[in-house]
Amino acid sequence: MRAWGLPLALLMLAGCAGSPEPVAPVPVVVVPPARIDPGVLARRLMAIQPSWPSPHVDCRRAKCVALTFDDGPGDYTDHLLDLLKARHVRATFFVVGQMVAADKKHLVRRIFREGHELGNHSWSHPQLTAVADDVLRRQLRFTQRLVRQLTGVRMQIMRPPYGSTDSRVADEARRDGLAQILWSVDTLDWQDHVPAIVARRATSGRPGAIVLMHDIHRTTVEAVPKILDTFTKKGYTFVTVSELFNHPLVPGRRYSGR
Q: Is 214 a catalytic residue?
A: yes
Amino acid at 93: F
- Integer-rounded Cα Rg, in Å, for the chain is 17
Sign of the CA dihedral with 215 first, then 219, 222, and 225 last? negative
Distance CA 70, CA 217 (A): 10
Q: How far is CA 205 from CA 1, 152, 171, 229, in A?
A: 38, 33, 30, 14
Catalytic residue among 121, 125, 214, 217: 214
Q: Is 125 a catalytic residue?
A: no
CB 220 within 8 A of CB 71: no
Distance CA 207, CA 185 (A): 11
Catalytic residue among 70, 103, 189, 215: 70
Active site residues: 70, 214
